Amino acid sequence: MANPTGTGSTGTGVARPMPRPTAQVAPYVKALGAELAVTFLLHYGGAELYIRARPNERTEYAELIGLDGARALAKHADKMQRRVPLAKRWLTEMLDWQGYTVPEIARKLRVSDVAVRKTLKASRP
């Protein structure tokens, strides 16, 4: 079960800093914040998505992230690729930081537990 506070606890009482967003992910994190960016990337990652200049309530992604989130994305659209990044490495690190288990991360990202462990091992000093 995920850590609802998102403090990145290691189970030893030592908090870890939030994983640094990659260049691909940074505009989404800046626009939406880390938590909502995770939700958005899990839903739309890998898909071509047109970010409207003036989103409204009927804008598809506004249903997921809210109208304020859709407007924030529009302000940063010039820094985004046309295809939403999969961002599996950053998502793996973020979900781990949020307290998800390796099997939970693997299921969310549709990868093997081996791939999750390998990514996490490579990202830790």
As a whole number of angstroms, the distance between CA 121 and CA 96 comes to: 11
| Closest C-alpha among 44, 88, 80 to residue 62 | 44
| Higher-pLDDT residue of 14, 122 | 122
Q: pLDDT tens digits for 31-84?
A: 999 999 999 999 999 999 999 999 999 999 999 999 999 999 999 999 999 999
| Global pTM value | 0.86
- Predicted pLDDT of residue 7: 53
* pLDDT for 9 beyond 60: no
Q: Which residue has the tokens 């409204």?
A: 56
Q: What is the mean pLDDT of residues 81-109?
A: 97
